Chains A and B, each alone.
Chain A
Amino acid sequence: MRPFKYTRATTLPSAIKELSGNAQSRILAGGTNLLDLMKEDVERPEALIDITHLPHSAVKSLSQGAAKSGVLLDALGKNSETANHLLIRSQYPMLSQAILAGASAQIRNMATNGGNLLQRTRCPYFYDVAMPCNKRTPGSGCGALEGFNRMHAVFGWSDKCIAVHPSDMAVALAALDAKVLAQNEAGQQRRLTFDEFFRLPGDAPEKDNNLQHGDLITGIELPASNFADHSYYAKVRDRSSYAFALVSVAAGLQLNGKQISDVRVAMGGVAHKPWRALTAEKMLKGKEATEANFKAAAKAEMAAAKPHEYNKFKIELGERAIALALTNALNYGS
């Protein structure tokens, strides 16, 4: 690991000021991804600003009185405390499941909510500094495009990058219409939808998201959810635990009798960002909640997929995973 200067931040503004003062500085929170990348010589920060000692609360209810108006996840809340918070387990069970589907118990105890969104792709060509990678070294090419691309994207990729976002938590957050709160040196607060926050690789895959250097994520806001009764996070992977998703699906149904009055479907392991399955959602809204309708919507969603040499299986797998997640959401807890 290359030498770096370590600073223990005592306040949020001082952390942001320190971050803004050096383009080669990075925020250290859980460190589970950043330290690994530093050991691999992929990340080479000159300075780390440790924010783990700043006070934080895991989850805060935004409700006033009887009106349900969502929750705020503190950026520094640990993944494990967020997943096990009673508000999240009872009102956003899909989010608890998604967090608990990711990584291991040890890593979830370390990793923060903000850091989870900012983790980098696990594309092996990104990790291996001997390989070309436009995300790591812009202009060097993409090793995965013609390489071993079994884990890679089938939606929204460009010829510059076919990497996928590795987070499970972010897939559920996308389905739940979460917003990312970020603060900069001037003290300005921004509230970004997931569409505004994440981006597709396009011609600049080195940028995972639309934050600027000096922006710090302070929280994640979730609107009140109508999906607590019928939701599920399905994850398909090479091992039954502790592996990144080949395909994952967060599904939520709001039912009026048998009719679907509202529906959310988001996918992981298929794109540079958590992928909202808008085609499937549109097809299902107003329809009856039946397995046949789930399958038809899943097929329509995956029809737009563009696979690579080694990940053609993700099309059928995606269809089955969407149908499975919706079926389990329908029957969950009953």
Chain B
Amino acid sequence: MSEENQNPDLTDDEKRLFADLMPEDLKEIMDSGFNRRHFLKLMSIGGASVLAANLLGAEQVLARPLATEQAAATAAIENGVKLSFNINGASRSLTVDSRMTLLDTVRERLQLTGSKKGCDHGQCGACTVIIDGQRVLSCLTLAATCEGKKVTTIEGLANNNQLHPMQEAFIKHDGFQCGYCTPGQICSAVALLGEAKKGDASYVTSNIKQTGSAQQLSEDEIRERMSGNICRCGAYPNIVAAIMEVHSGKPVDQHFNFAG
């Protein structure tokens, strides 16, 4: 950061004013270099309302990921847990609050904002990521439990500029409208292909006792296996078509039915 950091700290009165306005954030503001000079500038321009408006900006700055691990170490993290794991092929080490979910970690600390926070309660599937080959919900996974794990998010599926076949199929079949659930849908669908290849069963599998062979999935099977991913726009027919195309390796026609 620039010369502003070399300025003296806020006076006690100034701190009190800050504490009244934003009690929770005083310490972070002090640590972050939001300093006296900046503070005085704000106060002289137009009083507290301008200060409040600018604090919003400051808060946004503070919400950004910590730039370096040194910065992470100096920030006070309650119940910090040291963590090393592999994310999309890269090894990362960081210290996280024990409460931090994997979802918040990839979004807020690793700048991977592809995984989405829908419900944050494991009901919608928007946060689906793949850990060690298994699709899981990152909103119900504590980052601390991911030590040594291999995590793949939507950002890790493409090979440089070459999209994953599932991503291409979602585009071809228009498998989304607003797109918010899409990263979770695609991660879930990619893992589904692996499960079918292993011969895993689902609740609608006609004879669960028949084991051992790769599953050729029906539309009903795909719908059942994707039921953990909710699409509020209702793009389900196109999502099923996209998955069926990649699963079967054959082009799938789009078909539409008007509600009866």
| Contact residue among B97, B101, B148, B227 (Cβ-Cβ distance under 8 Å from A242) | B227
Residue in B closest to A37 when the chains form the complex, CB atoms = B121
B11 adjacent to chain A (CB < 8 Å): no
Q: 4 shortest A-B CB distances, which residue pairs? A: A104-B228, A241-B227, A6-B98, A242-B227
Say yes or no: B79 contacts A241, CB within 8 Å.
no
Given contact pairs A105-B188, A107-B140, a sample of 11 additional A-B residue pairs in the complex whose CB atoms are under 8 Å apart? A5-B79, A35-B101, A35-B142, A50-B142, A86-B211, A86-B212, A90-B211, A96-B201, A100-B203, A106-B125, A107-B228
| Contact residue among A36, A50, A100, A110 (Cβ-Cβ distance under 8 Å from B202) | A100
| Contact residue among B78, B122, B137 (Cβ-Cβ distance under 8 Å from A3) | B78
Say yes or no: A89 contacts B142, CB within 8 Å.
no
Residue in B closest to A53 when the chains form the complex, CB atoms = B147
A31 adjacent to chain B (CB < 8 Å): yes
Say yes or no: A4 contacts B79, CB within 8 Å.
yes
Contact mask for chain A residues 11-34; partner B; CB cutoff 8 A; 1 contact, 0 none = 000000000000000001001100
Chain B contacts for A104, CB-based, 8 A: 125, 227-229
B209 adjacent to chain A (CB < 8 Å): yes
Say yes or no: A6 contacts B79, CB within 8 Å.
yes
Say yes or no: A333 contacts B207, CB within 8 Å.
yes
Chain A contacts for B148, CB-based, 8 A: 53
B81 adjacent to chain A (CB < 8 Å): yes
Chain B contacts for A239, CB-based, 8 A: 227
Tell me how far the C-beta of A14 lies from the nearest C-beta in chain B, rounded to whole angstroms. 16
Say yes or no: B140 contacts A35, CB within 8 Å.
yes
A window 224-255: CB within 8 A of B: 228, 235, 239-242
A-B contacts, 7 of them at CB < 8 A, read A4-B98, A39-B121, A48-B142, A50-B145, A53-B147, A105-B135, A107-B228
Chain B contacts for A235, CB-based, 8 A: 203
| Contact residue among B140, B141, B211 (Cβ-Cβ distance under 8 Å from A89) | B211
B241 adjacent to chain A (CB < 8 Å): no
What does DSSP make chain B's interface, helix, strand, loop or mixed?
loop
Tell me how far the C-beta of A74 lies from the nearest C-beta in chain B, rounded to whole angstroms. 17
Chain B contacts for A48, CB-based, 8 A: 98, 142
Tell me how far the C-beta of B198 lies from the nearest C-beta in chain A, rounded to whole angstroms. 8
Count residues of chain B with CB under 8 A from any CB of chain A: 46
A-B CB contacts (within 8 Å), total count: 121
Chain A contacts for B140, CB-based, 8 A: 31-32, 35-36, 107, 110
Given known pairs A6-B79, A32-B137, A39-B121, the reply for A101 and B209 (CB within 8 Å) is: no
Interface residues of A (CB under 8 A from B): 1, 3-6, 8, 28, 31-32, 35-36, 39-40, 48, 50, 52-53, 78, 80, 83-84, 86, 89-90, 93, 96-97, 100-101, 103-107, 109-110, 228, 235, 239-242, 332-333
Tell me how far the C-beta of A219 lies from the nearest C-beta in chain B, rounded to whole angstroms. 21
B190 adjacent to chain A (CB < 8 Å): no
Say yes or no: A52 contacts B125, CB within 8 Å.
no
B240 adjacent to chain A (CB < 8 Å): no
B208 adjacent to chain A (CB < 8 Å): yes
Chain B contacts for A40, CB-based, 8 A: 121
Chain A contacts for B144, CB-based, 8 A: 6, 8, 50
Say yes or no: B142 contacts A3, CB within 8 Å.
no
B134 adjacent to chain A (CB < 8 Å): yes
Residue in A closest to B128 when the chains form the complex, CB atoms = A106
Say yes or no: B208 contacts A106, CB within 8 Å.
no
Given known pairs A36-B121, A105-B135, the reply for A1 and B99 (CB within 8 Å) is: yes
Say yes or no: B142 contacts A242, CB within 8 Å.
no
Say yes or no: A8 contacts B98, CB within 8 Å.
no
Given known pairs A6-B81, A83-B201, the reply for A106 and B135 (CB within 8 Å) is: yes
Cα distance A39–B103 in the bound complex, in angstroms: 14
| Contact residue among B122, B141, B198, B224 (Cβ-Cβ distance under 8 Å from A241) | B224
